[in-house]
Structure 1
Amino acid sequence: MKRIVLLLLCCMLGFNVGFTQNAQIQIDNLKKELQSNPDAKRTATIYSDLTWYFSKIATDSALYYGGKAIQESKKLGDSTLMAQIFSDVGAVYFIKGDFQNSKANYLTAYKIRKLRNDLKGLAKINNNLANIYEKTEQFKPAMASFLEALHYFESTKDEKNASITKGNIGLILLKLKDYRKALKYISDVVKYQEKNNFTEELCVSCLNLGNVYLQMNDTLNALNYYNKSVKACTAVGNNKGISSGYNNIATIKTEQKKSKDAQAFYQKSKNAREQLNSTLDKANFDFNLAKECITNKKYSNAKTLLLSTKKAYEKGSLNDKLQVNYNSLIIVSSYLNQPDSVNYYVNKLAVLNEQMLVNNTVKQTAELETKYQTEKKEKLLLKSKAEIVIRELKLKRKETQFLILALISFTLIIIVFLVYRQQKLKNKQQEQEFELKSAISKIETQNKLQEQRLQISRDLHDNIGSQLTFIISSVDNIKYAFEIQNSKLDDKLSNISNFAKSTIIELRDTIWAMNNSDITLEDLQTRIHNFVEKAKEAKAEIQFLFQIEDSLKDIKFTSIEGMNIYRTIQEAINNSIKYAKATSIKIDIKSVSDSLVITIVDNGKGFETDKIELGNGINNMKKRIHDINGEIEINSTLKTGTTVQIKLPKS
């Protein structure tokens, strides 16, 4: 039975809306407590708790409070709290997908806990580090970290954590195609969970065990555990697990040529998956359904499904899945007699293959070296054989001169041909090696540029950010340390503190833009929401609405373009709140012809555009938009408020 593409279920559960709402309640309560000026220890703990709760709803805010928590814990010299905070910050970066910073924070927590001889804390951090290594396909260090954690959990007879760690090890072994060992680890996990009636955990483990059996071509056991997984997932209401289980059963039925059964299970999978909001899950389902359509020669339906999955795979940079997708599109387009589409996807596949080749340069270089050495040995062996043949011909020379000459000539022709062939292969290998070296050099240059950008942003954050924070602290200390009777001096100090705080926020926005090579409208929406949340602290009654057409959310801008758009919208909102005294602000982003139109409308008191002199804020807005080849128009009246309209080219 040929291999079936599987959906490995690594993480089944997400945070629901109820948890998010509860997190917001906790955040509000913590902020109120913070305003009551608690002692230093409690302040640091509140910042730590805010980091944790914000990590579920706004990671930028989580990192902000994480930074404050680290500062406070360092002042206290509380190593226990400090280790916990660094772990929490590492978790926030993991959620953001920033594995480099996540690893750095976990390693800092690891050092602190090692000094405190906190063995349980070290084991948990090893699990977290192993997850980072696994995400970045560094399977050897991932396995080492998991095994170290497992050793501790087994030594302390912590069966539950030991079981979780064994399951993670089994998944890595499954990815490494060591199916026998994967079977042993995951089977032990399933037995433990069945013994303790851990239905929620069995939902995942049975699915993974079914995947192992399927890779070992044991479809009977695979179906058995897929059914167990569906049963457990149904009991706990895990729709993603139900969908994956039915989907894998359907793929087996497809391979068994049981099309009717396969369609029934695909429908069950679809019904469960429609209750989720996962683009990738839908893409995986649609791709398997497309394969079923190809089997039944429904090529038009198959192409429609393949085109929808292609977009999701391209967005997620899932190159392995894209390879199979492009191949399927080539086949379907061929059956539909669409030569242009065939050529298009052949070219797309070629570009993708080249990209994947570059990503595996080290491996490819090693393979080429091995191949070169093997061919070199073969060449020497052939040469040796030729010499033996020549010696044998000389011994038979007395029998017939003509035969000897004929055999010698024939042998020489073979040798010349082989040498020529070997030389041609060698030249081709050298060309490939040169191309690979050029590609590596290009990648290294790009990496160095990215490192420089990150270094600059870190310097801005660590140096200028800390200096501004020092200014704020110094001003606040002066205000609280001295009873200032002069109201003008007190106002001046407050203005300095507020200006420094605003500068820190703008610095953080600049660092955010520098750390992103491209910025989507959805990123801008999140950033604007964070800005508005901070603005609401000063003016809670303001109503804010941000709308983006679904088709535009994936549009990307360069960091400069994104920053200019963000600053312009930010300035417009600032003007509406500060000068127009607006109670309602609406941002609407939509597509009009070949342009992207951003409209900011408020219900403020407005102004007469022909009777006032434009300030630096509006002039800066116009300059920013013109710098990115856009147009901006500002209309305002004393009755209806102000409208700012920005037009940008889509391309």
Structure 2
Amino acid sequence: MKKPLLILVLFVFAFGLRAQNAQEMVDRLKKDLQAKPDAKRIAVIYSDLTWYYSKIDIDSALHYGDKAVIESRKLNDSTLLAQVYSDIGAVYFIKGDFINSKVNYLTAYKVRKLRNDVKGLAKINNNLANIYEKTHQYKQAMAAFVEALSYFESVKDEKNTSITKGNIGLIYLKLKNYPKALQYIGDVVRFQEKNNFTEELCVSCLNLGNVYLQLNDTLQALKYYDKSVKACTAVGNKKGLSSGFNNIASIKTEQKKSKDALAFFEKSKAIREELHSDLDKANFDLNLANEYVSAQQFGKAKKLLLSTQKFYESSGTTEKLQINYKSLINVYAALHQPDSVTYFLDKLVVLDEQLLVNKAEKQAAELETQYQTEKKELQLQKSKAEIALRESEIKKKETQFIIAILISLALLIIIYLVYRQQKLKNKQQQQEFELKSAIAKIETQNKLQEQRLAISRDLHDNIGSQLTFIISSVDNIKYAFDIQNQKLDAKLSGISNFAKSTIIELRDTIWAMNKSEITFEDLQARIHNFIDKAQEAKEDIQFNFEVNPTLKELRFSSVEGMNLYRTIQEAINNSIKYARPQSVAVSILPEAEKVLIRITDDGCGFNRETVLMGNGIQNMEKRIRDIGGTFEIHSEPDKGTAITIMLGIQSQKQQGL
């Protein structure tokens, strides 16, 4: 007998499923590149272009993959680098170049191992296993699946454990070890049936049917193909449904039942032509959203769930809408958005009530129809005894009908009261939690402020007085003794000047520590003092400092404010020390949802490719990166130097509240 083995493999762990039109996304990403985003965004765009081009142009995908690797290495971003190598591995896999696909997956594996990304390693093991399976390296494939299985079992991820066992079962099926395949896939089916994992049963039952077919047990094969068809129909899995019909048709062909075989083949063909329906896309997005929830990628899950919510509401797909609402409740709970949790909890209760009412109305309509039918039959009865008996039955049905309505109403009232009580309880618990959190936060801030004040007093009283003593002692030595040695005199002057400079730095630090928040207006006053001193030292340089009025009240923490102050101070010092400029300008302006800070001079400039960057620039870049901003420096010989700092304005406003 010819064995039809249309195995629907849905056990592949891809890094990310992006179900948007590839060409549209490529066009959009290229448009984003033209907007000249920052370095991090450029690297992400190159990575996304690698993925989307894999669907329409493999050569372009590999071209942008190389660019994404270069940019990720410049940023020293290991997370993004692992993502890029995984994407390139997927491109080579689609191309059929399994050697290069394996090389890139193994590179991503090394990066994630250094980051101790255990979950990411488990997913890469599954991707590597698929390569091994494609190249008939079943031993290596089995080893990779077993390693992934060990992880999922250790974290008690029963669902992914079941999926991985299904993968192992498929390897045994290809190795013709049918008893082992039957054991693994059979366990998967029983687990999924016990937990009502209908979507997974669609695939698992199809694969179990294939095992039984190889064992020449046609009856069991047809039984599980039928279960697969029912499960796929229930969840709207057209790929699984089409494969199930195709396998049944193949058996009918072997049984010489050509009429039945043709009918099933036609069904399979018709469904395959409809695979790209809106419902199929919505179901896929819903499944992907739930996978994001499992991976705790709640932002991505929310976006997909809100999209599918609109489709299910407009199409009236109530079962999927229930799942959608429940998933949204879980997502918003994880995102700590209680108002949204309450909103979708209300919608779920309303939907449940509507479904219950619809069910009651349907039952009532059925009883009413039955009642009317029996009533008409009574009119046809000639026997008074039979009429009396029928009337008794009708009264009984009427009583049952009334009881059913009353029970339905009672259930609705109970559900509403329980929901209302639970809602009030949840609201009270939320308020108590928020109050405790606020009190704890205030207490912590008070303690921190007390500690900062104590430290600043110690610095002022102890370190400040000691430095002042050093300055006084050095000056006394210079005035008390007629020092003829110029080197000694210069050395003493240097010590005095260094101590004075240290006092100024100490005052800046104490100023920052004494403030819980720092605004641009505070920074402006401080920087003006610094510029005034610089003006005294360099009278031939024109200094200009400008802050947009809308940003003066923008608030920062003391650490953020000090980092900004030190960065601007270091930039001006570098211009004075190395650039020999005629003018130095500092401007702070709003740009979209960010703050743009520019420090420019018209000095001699330098060539970044030939000049070794010192610690000063590296320190400035690190200070800005530590407070969530971006730092760029542009310079050309004889054309001056420009330093650009970008800060997110929304996050700073939130920190200031």
Q: TM-score, normalised by structure 2?
A: 0.39
Asked which structure has the greater CA Rg, the reply is 2
